């Protein structure tokens, strides 16, 4: 396990001594604790920890680590996961007509600024294929109608599973996925919505923002759940606008917000900074990473 | 009318030659045009102008100016208003329990940073009287129950009219005013709502922001209309927050946003920067003022 | 000249009647005034106007327009320029090692979000050639040493003039250009500097930002002048950072700011929104464009 | 020590096992660890921790706690400090002509939003006395000339020491304090500077911001050191401005930034969120406080 960074994400009932017990455990196994971030939700009496370990000084195997961790995790009622930095994560991007998020993710990945491999792009249209070609990423055109939805989703599921996809990014995919699909991949699908949720859920947020006369427009990246645009929020941002912005101006200004918000959310997910609790996403900041 | 700034706000159907005709009119009357700001809503084919004039070089009286302006305004179908900088505007502030907006407005007014006279503070509680005393502003404690609402509002209306109030600022007044009251003062009542509308309309926005797990909280200043929290938006702003913020932390962070948003909205109103069109507020920026 | 947008940028001594005279002139020639934006610098008694005209209703030729405009411009001492929307502007991008601004400008241009043709990329390194190839833009690798600087700049000048380049964008070109070069293209070279100028002028701004412990980092786009990093500022933006950011984290966060700031500055230039006055850039906002 | 929050701030050379050792220590003494925040500066191999403890479950006295902590602190080479929540901190505010920061701090303190007692206001002018009177805080008018500087500072020192002042806030005090004075109170004097440092150090930052044509103005709160405007930065913020802002507009916009930046810095200091390291301020965020 040498020269790896190991990241544990832990959630459990709050109780005295948790930091001491957890950090002791890793210290005694020979790990160097690179960072240890905690969050206590005192309203719900719940404790959250993200701990990053350097495995350089230990001979322990992954199996030994995970098995011995159970001795701590079971009595303290942890819900936990562990990630190893040498496991490259596979990503699929789903798009429809809009290109800006797609370019942005492909560029970041190509230039080594996102810690993942983008294995494929899936679209219900053929429109963005040339972008996939530029970046030499396979492009699957899977058209969909109300009649073929079940079949198309089965094709997508097949692609996801054959390619061992770890994360699906809906980068302005304008179809509603079935609950069956969504529930198959909990906390594995990130969607970008082009408003500051919960404002302007659903269709045409820029047009509605114009009509409401808001002085800010925004974008929200969240985990997809079966309730449309209601999943746990990972990232949000806004920009000021004025009365002078038409719906198409808002769309253009919004595109730049969407790009940054989605890219940050994907990075936070890939760096294991997120623990979901109910409908809230605990997003630990980077710790000198 | 010497050494005054005269501000015209104009709205009319868009048509060729408007800037030329309007600026010509004022030029020929001997005014110096300090600034001339226009906005064309091409979706609705409507034209908006804010023009500020220096009256130093003209002998014209207010009556003459307004009467002769009709010759332009009637054929071109202007909706218009005119304000004179030597008419000090009278303001009433309505509050309940929360003091931060009240302090802020009183301080700005006292230090000459708001172009108005705060004539009175009206509250359904006696709690904030000491602040009124500090700033030597009359404080009217008018308690209200569902049974006495009509009577209480009649008392408020009496105060407003006796004191020739030009603007009512609801600085966290936590009662819902009747449609009768609201409709009596169109575009004369500014309310601060502690969320980035249209998100979290209605009660307890900070608690609901916590529960929804948003990553931004905000505040919105708008003209009050009979549809609660749905009037034309004048100003909005937000601040980033994290999962670590409790509802009471959000309240504290939000207080600073509320102060700035309300103060800017009130200033924009007092400087005649706003034209309302439907449910949208056209807010012209300051022009070197 | 049918179906064109004509944009005049005007600077002159402030005097009574300017708006009226200028808008009258265009009205009488049969133009529809799409927008008319002015700025009065009362400290310097200088007047600035950006006026956009729709030529649909006029038969006048460019030559006639420009010649007859002189009748207004000469007595009122205008410095002015005029642009026609059907003249596509040619852009050259200069880069060294850093790819993020290059990708961003190429993507915006390719997707029709920048009103220009990117004719070439010039670099003192061969490193970014594959990006040029992806977007099918010619790439000129012109290495430079202190000894060959004059020669290399002569090659660049030759490329600029042969290709009728209207705007040179230094998208993280890490060589200092000679005064001779810079002065040949006044207000035609836009540079991005990776700090909020005037803080951290010169080399290594992110390292110095780390050492100074600032809580914000930024980027600045400005016209290049012979005084390094001191030209008129077109756009600036910042993001909050914390003590936890290393110089390389700052670089990563900063890249996203640099992209947006440079893209906005280039767009503002290409849409003729900028008048330079001394060392200040008057940047008119978009007017419903 | 019952029902107190105890906050330890620790800085030491980085080494394996620190979190475990420190959290174990407090766990074994019977404390509940409310939050435990760490920062590792890997460039300088230095470790920083802020740990907040609930003393409800322990019988230990302050003296016992601090003495036994030395057993950990000495071998691990800690620089450390400890604060107890029941020790109300005394604050002195120094001002000259400008009232907005003074109002803001007095209001926050009066309304229980700053955890301190403002014991006095010291000024080289008599101008702001009425504000002190409104809030019933003693006001000391201590005029100063170059000849009387030493004497005046001696009077201030006397006031500070007699009143057991823990923190001096320079809320736009426009005199330069001597090195002798500054060095007497290391990390005990917070200054607000009206620019985004290191831009526009020294006098007249708004005028210089106007002349440089910046598109953002800002404010910086920092610990005062003998190098003017060069001490460790605690908080910074900016707002966008345009070419249309005169120096006096910048001053007005800037006032609102100054208020928030100084208030946050003072709060961060009073809540023991800051560890200074060299010229950098490590500012831990609030942890659900």
Q: What is the DSSP letter of A14?
A: -
Q: Work out the average pLDDT over B75-100.
A: 96
Q: Give A-chain residues touching B243 at CB under 8 angstroms.
A: 39, 280-283
pLDDT tens column, C102-132 = 999 999 999 999 989 999 999 999 999 999 9
Whether C179 and C226 have beta carbons less than 8 Å apart is answered as yes
Average pLDDT value for chain B: 96
Whether A227 and A244 have beta carbons less than 8 Å apart is answered as no
| Consecutive H or E run containing A181 | helix A179-184
CB contact under 8 A, B233 and A213: yes
pLDDT tens column, C195-239 = 999 999 999 999 999 999 999 999 999 999 999 899 999 999 999
Whether D238 and D213 have beta carbons less than 8 Å apart is answered as no
pLDDT tens column, B52-67 = 999 988 889 999 999 9
Q: Give C-chain residues touching B17 at CB under 8 angstroms.
A: 27, 33
Written as six digits, the tokens of B36 are 């001339």
Which residues of C are designated catalytic?
229
Chain A residue with the nearest C-alpha to that of C133: A134
- Confidence band for D2, pLDDT divided at 50, 70 and 90: low
Q: Is A67 exposed, middle or buried (0-12, 13-18, 19+ CB in 10 A)?
A: exposed
What would the DSSP string read from start to end of D177-207?
PPHHHHHHSTT-EEEEESSSTTTT-SS-HHH
Q: Tell me the C-alpha distance between C55 and C31, whole Å.
A: 6
Written as six digits, the tokens of C213 are 């412990």
Written as six digits, the tokens of A269 are 């997910």
Average pLDDT value for chain A: 96
Q: Is the pLDDT of residue B287 over 70?
A: yes
* Chain C residues whose C-beta sits inside 8 Å of any chain D C-beta: 39, 42-43, 196-200, 211-216, 218, 232-238, 242-244, 246, 279-283, 285
For residues C144 and D1, the model is more confident at C144
Which residues have C-beta within 8 Å of that of residue A87, sequence separation ≥ 6?
A: none
Q: What pLDDT does residue A2 have?
A: 67
pLDDT tens column, A169-190 = 999 999 999 999 999 999 999 9
CB contact under 8 A, C243 and D283: yes
Q: What pLDDT does residue D257 have?
A: 98
Interface test with C, best of D38, D207, D215 (most C CBs within 10 A): D215
Q: Work out the average pLDDT over A233-262.
A: 96
Q: What is the DSSP letter of C101?
A: H
Instruction: List chains adjacent to chain B, taking adjacency as at least 3 C-beta pairs closer than 8 Å.
Output: A, C, D
Q: Is the pLDDT of residue A3 over 80?
A: no
Q: Give B-chain residues touching C23 at CB under 8 angstroms.
A: 19-20, 23
Q: Which part of chain B is CATH 3.40.50.170?
A: 89-283
pLDDT tens column, B145-167 = 999 999 999 999 999 999 999 99
* Chain B residues whose C-beta sits inside 8 Å of any chain D C-beta: 99-100, 103, 107, 111, 113, 134-135, 242, 244-246, 249, 252, 255-256, 260, 263, 285-289
Q: Is C283 helix (H, G, I), strand (E, B) or coil?
A: strand
Q: Work out the average pLDDT over B170-174.
A: 97
- Confidence band for B264, pLDDT divided at 50, 70 and 90: very high
Q: What pLDDT does residue D288 have?
A: 82
- Residue D198: cis peptide before it, omega within 30 degrees of 0: yes
Three-state helix/strand/coil letters over A106-157 = HHHHHCCCCCEEEEEEEECCCCCHHHHHHCCCCEEECCCCCCCHHHHHHHHH
The pTM of this model reads 0.97
CB contact under 8 A, A216 and B238: yes
Residue D156 distance to chain C (closest CA, Å) = 30
* Chain C residues whose C-beta sits inside 8 Å of any chain A C-beta: 99-100, 103, 107, 111, 113, 134-135, 242, 244-246, 249, 252, 255-256, 260, 263, 285-289
Q: What pLDDT does residue C246 have?
A: 93
Q: What pLDDT does residue B146 have?
A: 92
CA D187 to chain centroid, in Å, comes to: 7
CB contact under 8 A, D282 and C243: yes
What would the DSSP string read from start to end of B35-73?
EEEEEEETTTTEEEEEEEEEGGG----HHHHHHHHHHHH
Q: Tell me the C-alpha distance between A259 and A101, whole Å.
A: 5
Q: Give A-chain residues touching D48 at CB under 8 angstroms.
A: none
CATH superfamily ID and name for A89-283 = Formyl transferase, N-terminal domain (3.40.50.170)
Which residues of A are designated catalytic?
229
Q: Give B-chain residues touching A205 at CB under 8 angstroms.
A: none
Q: Give B-chain residues touching C34 at CB under 8 angstroms.
A: 40
Q: What is the DSSP letter of D265?
A: H
The pLDDT > 70 percentage for chain D reads: 99
Q: Tell me the C-alpha distance between B172 and B178, whole Å.
A: 16
CB contact under 8 A, B288 and D244: yes
Q: What pLDDT does residue D179 have?
A: 96
Q: Please, where are the H alpha helices in chain B?
A: 18-28, 62-73, 100-110, 129-134, 149-162, 179-184, 205-212, 247-270
Catalytic residue among D14, D158, D166, D229: D229
The single residue listed with the structure tokens 């007092």 is B270
Chain A residue with the nearest C-alpha to that of B235: A215
* Chain D residues whose C-beta sits inside 8 Å of any chain B C-beta: 99-100, 103, 107, 111, 113, 134-135, 242, 244-246, 249, 252, 255-256, 260, 263, 285-289
Q: Is B208 helix (H, G, I), strand (E, B) or coil?
A: helix
CB contact under 8 A, C215 and D199: no
Residue A253 distance to chain C (closest CA, Å) = 10
Q: Is A158 exposed, middle or buried (0-12, 13-18, 19+ CB in 10 A)?
A: exposed
Q: Give C-chain residues touching D242 at CB under 8 angstroms.
A: 283, 285
Q: Tell me the C-alpha distance between C131 and A111, whole Å.
A: 11
Chain C residue with the nearest C-alpha to that of A263: C256
Number of H helices, E strands in chain B: 8, 13
Q: Work out the average pLDDT over D142-167.
A: 97
Residue D235 distance to chain C (closest CA, Å) = 6
Written as six digits, the tokens of C118 are 């990117």
SS3 content of chain D, % helix, strand, coil (to 5): 35, 30, 40
Say what angle helices A247-270 and A205-212 make with each other, to 10 degrees. Answer: 120
Chain B residue with the nearest C-alpha to that of D287: B244
Q: Work out the average pLDDT over B235-239.
A: 98
Residue D258 distance to chain C (closest CA, Å) = 15
Q: Work out the average pLDDT over A25-40.
A: 94
Q: What pLDDT does residue B2 have?
A: 67
In this structure, chain C runs to a length of 289
Which residues have C-beta within 8 Å of that of residue B67, sequence separation ≥ 6?
A: none
Q: What pLDDT does residue D24 have?
A: 94
The pLDDT > 90 percentage for chain A reads: 94
- Confidence band for C57, pLDDT divided at 50, 70 and 90: confident
Q: What pLDDT does residue A56 have?
A: 87
Q: Tell me the C-alpha distance between C128 and D204, whole Å.
A: 44
User: Of C125, C114, C128, C101, which is closest to residue C254 (Cα–Cα)?
Assistant: C101
Q: Which part of chain C is CATH 3.30.70.260?
A: 5-84
Active-site residue, D14 included: no
CB contact under 8 A, D20 and A24: yes
In this structure, chain A runs to a length of 289
Q: What pLDDT does residue A289 have?
A: 82
Q: What pLDDT does residue C2 have?
A: 67
β-pair type (C46-54, C32-41):
antiparallel
The single residue listed with the structure tokens 């009932």 is A13
Residue C79 distance to chain B (closest CA, Å) = 20
Distances (CA, A) of C254 to C42, C189, C245, D137: 36, 22, 11, 45
- Confidence band for D144, pLDDT divided at 50, 70 and 90: very high
Written as six digits, the tokens of C263 are 């893209």
**Interchain CB contacts (distance < 8 Å): A and D:** 58
Q: What is the DSSP letter of D56?
A: G
Chain D residue with the nearest C-alpha to that of A50: D37
Q: Give A-chain residues touching C134 at CB under 8 angstroms.
A: 134-135
ipTM above 0.85, yes or no: yes
B5-84 belongs to which CATH class?
alpha beta
Residue B183 distance to chain D (closest CA, Å) = 33
């Amino acid at each position: 396990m040498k020269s790896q960074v190991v990241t544990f994400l832990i959630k459990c009932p709050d109780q005295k001594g948790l930091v001491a017990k957890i950090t002791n455990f890793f210290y005694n196994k020979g790990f160097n604790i690179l960072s240890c971030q905690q969050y206590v939700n005192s309203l719900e009496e719940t404790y959250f920890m993200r701990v990053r370990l350097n495995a350089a000084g230990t001979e322990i195997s992954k199996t030994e680590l995970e098995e011995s961790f159970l001795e701590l995790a079971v009595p303290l009622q942890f819900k936990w996961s562990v990630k190893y930095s040498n496991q490259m994560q596979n990503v699929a991007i789903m798009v429809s007509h809009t290109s800006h998020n797609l370019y942005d993710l492909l560029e970041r990945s190509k230039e080594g600024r996102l810690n993942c491999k983008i294995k494929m792009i899936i679209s219900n249209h053929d429109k963005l294929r040339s972008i996939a070609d530029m970046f030499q990423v396979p492009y699957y055109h899977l058209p969909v109608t109300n009649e073929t939805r079940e079949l198309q989703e089965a094709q997508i599921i097949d692609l996801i599973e054959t390619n061992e996809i770890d994360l699906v990014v809906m980068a302005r995919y304008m179809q509603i996925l079935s609950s069956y699909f969504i529930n198959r991949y909990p906390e594995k699908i990130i969607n970008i919505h082009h408003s500051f949720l919960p404002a302007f859920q659903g269709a045409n947020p820029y047009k509605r923002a114009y009509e409401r006369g808001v002085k800010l427009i925004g974008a929200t990246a969240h985990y997809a759940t079966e309730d449309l645009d209601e999943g746990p929020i990972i990232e949000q941002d806004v920009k000021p606008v004025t009365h002078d912005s038409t719906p198409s101006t808002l769309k253009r200004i919004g595109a730049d917000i969407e790009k940054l918000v989605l890219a940050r959310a994907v990075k936070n997910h890939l760096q294991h900074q997120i623990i979901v609790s109910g409908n809230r996403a605990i997003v630990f900041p980077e710790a000198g990473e």
